[in-house]
Amino acid sequence: MANPKQLGALFPSSRALARAMAKCALEGLNSQEKILELGAGTGRFTQALIEAGIPEHRLICIEIDPNLGMYLKKKFPKAKIVLGNACALEEALKAEQLSMNIGVVVSGLPMLNFPDLVQKEILRGCFKVLKSKGQFLQFTYSPFTSIRSQCFPLEKTRKCWVFNNFPPATIWSYVLE
């Protein structure tokens, strides 16, 4: 409540939404590629990714809140938890000396709450670290795409609706053309 722009909703994402995101993330991912999670929060998506079969050591979680970051480090000791801002993604990953074999970005960020310039910086960083044709996954409570940036030629695909979430959500995949 103290920082409404950092939160996308008053209620946490449902397990159904987390499972759907994990299922979408696994599509086309090879056994060596890592998954980058933006806005890991309490780890709902992180846990779903692990339950879907992604080894914890292949997860890189970016979290801006230091308290949530400490919580995530205790809950997922084998994942790489990076305290940082998604707008400075490359710098945060370089500071942690992380290899960039990233096949998918899973975003828990409230993109509709961000101005176009912030969206652009987040996407720029993500598409720089993603493999060629890697996908950026974003959920939204809107029936329409939540990525407004016209600065990138993106192939947009609605992956699924998740009605078993409050409010209902849509998962979108964005791939740089």
* Assigned token pair, 80: 């790489």
Q: What is the pLDDT of residues 92-128, one digit of tens each?
A: 888 887 767 899 999 999 998 999 899 999 999 999 9
Instruction: Give alpha helix (H) positions in the chain.
Output: 15-26, 44-51, 66-75, 89-95, 116-129
Q: How many C-beta atoms surround the C-beta of residue 65 within 10 A?
A: 15
> Would the pLDDT of 43 be above 70?
yes
pLDDT of residue 83: 95
Beta strands 34-38 and 102-107 are parallel
* C-beta separation of 126 from 36 below 8 A: yes
- Written as one letter, the residue type at 30 is N
Return mean pLDDT, the chain.
Answer: 90
Q: For position 99, what pLDDT does the model report?
A: 67
**CA 87/CA 69 separation, integer angstroms:** 17
The proportion of the chain whose per-residue pLDDT surpasses 90, expressed as a percent, equals 74
The model's pTM = 0.90
The CATH homologous superfamily of the domain defined by 4-176: Vaccinia Virus protein VP39 (3.40.50.150)
> pLDDT confidence of 12, banded at 50, 70, 90?
confident
Residue 144 pLDDT class (50, 70, 90 cuts): confident
Give me the residue spans of the domains in the chain: 4-176
> To 10 degrees, the CA torsion angle through 8, 122, 146, 132?
-130
**Residue 149 reports pLDDT greater than 70:** no
Question: What pLDDT score does 152 carry?
Answer: 82
